[in-house]
Amino acid sequence: MKIGFIGLGNMGGPMAANLAKAGHEVTGFDLAAPMPEGVTKAASAPEAAQGAEVVITMLPNGAILRAVAAEVIPAMQSGAVLCDCSTVDVDSARAVAADAQAAGLGALDAPVSGGVGGAGAGTLTFMVGGSSAAFEKVSPLFDIMGQKAVHCGESGAGQAAKICNNMILGVTMIATCEAFALADKLGLDRQKMFDVVSTSSGYSWSMNAYCPAPGVGPTSPADNGYKPGFAAELMLKDLRLSQQAAESADADTPMGELAAALYARFVDEEDGKGRDFSAMLPRFEARHRH
């Protein structure tokens, strides 16, 4: 398949490389990042999109996605699919999809879970919003870049699934970290804490698969000085998107709101920037109730 790929950073780079490795003809564009192996460099985003059957975008946020889509949509051939894999606000996802459809194109919002490791290994999970026809056309590419693609519903449904999932993740990570800090202060051994909670009703992905305590559980960023992994500022971005969506949908999400406020303080006022989102544990360890 002829593919245009715009945004070849930490995630997009390895995703595009996997498509090229699988034999697809990939033309890429990025303002700064180098071209991954096997990807032909275009001089602009519209040039990367020209003649492609599928154009994939993997960009930092909704404003940039809207700007890139405005340039790319007029350059795309009729019937092609614009598939955005970035994590963006639901409103931007829906607006870009509407513009693409008005121009005779298919459109998908297909944010991912699995991080940089999953992008490299081709084991991402895709959460996809858009028409069944567009989903079917891009499915073979999801199979190369990931291990699972869930068609969640119409435009915006993929982003909705993503931010709801990550709101749960932010909340459970904070709960897990504050519980470890409390357990430490109560003199409970961290390994014992893990052994009990990971097999009891307090378990979660944050505890079992990504334990924030160094030396405990499977290897995680905690064992690597809290080098990301999944950076605290990306968690903050997703929590803010969840609260923006909750605001526009009139949903009451007090735990999500508190998690967003805690990560904002951690990133903007404390030492969270550039650290993994599980570095909430040393943060709580250093704090006192009074």
Compute the least distance from the CB of residue 193 to ligand NAD, in Å: 27
SS3 65: helix
The token pair that represents 220 in the structure block: 């995680």
263's CB contacts (< 8 A; 6+ apart) are: 170, 232, 235, 236, 239, 272, 277
Binding of ligand NAD by 272 (CB under 6 A): no
Compare residues 33 and 150 and give the one whose CB is closer to ligand NAD: 33
Binding of ligand NAD by 7 (CB under 6 A): yes
SS3 192: helix
Q: Residue 133 — φ and ψ, nearest 5°?
A: -65, -45
Give the residue nearest to ligand NAD (CB). Answer: 9
* Per-state percent for the chain, helix, strand, coil, to nearest 5: 50, 15, 35
- How many alpha carbons fall within 13 Å on the CB side of residue 206? 25
Of 111-119, 204-212, 260-268, 271-279, which part binds ligand NAD (CB under 6 A)? Answer: 111-119
Compare residues 194 and 266 and give the one whose CB is closer to ligand NAD: 266
Binding of ligand NAD by 6 (CB under 6 A): yes
Among 234, 236, 245, 246, binds ligand NAD (CB under 6 A): 234
Binding of ligand NAD by 126 (CB under 6 A): no
Binding mask 183-222 for ligand NAD (x = CB under 6 A): ----------------------------------------
Binding of ligand NAD by 87 (CB under 6 A): yes
Among 12, 170, 217, 221, binds ligand NAD (CB under 6 A): 12
Among 31, 70, 102, 196, binds ligand NAD (CB under 6 A): 31
- How many alpha carbons fall within 13 Å on the CB side of residue 151? 13
The Cα–Cα gap between 83 and 130 comes to: 9
Residue of 162, 185, 227, 273 marked active site:
162
Binding of ligand NAD by 230 (CB under 6 A): yes
SS3 19: helix
The Cα–Cα gap between 282 and 178 comes to: 10
Binding of ligand NAD by 244 (CB under 6 A): no
Among 3, 11, 161, 193, binds ligand NAD (CB under 6 A): 11
185 is catalytic: no
Q: How many CB atoms lie within 10 A of CB 195?
A: 13
CB contact at 8 A, 94 and 155: yes
The amino acid occupying position 139 is: S
Binding of ligand NAD by 166 (CB under 6 A): no
SS3 28: strand
Binding of ligand NAD by 43 (CB under 6 A): no
Binding of ligand NAD by 59 (CB under 6 A): yes
The Cα–Cα gap between 13 and 33 comes to: 8
Compare residues 127 and 246 and give the one whose CB is closer to ligand NAD: 127
Catalytic residue list? 162
Q: Which residues bind ligand NAD (CB under 6 A)?
A: 6-12, 29-33, 45, 58-60, 64, 68, 86-87, 112, 115-116, 230, 234, 237
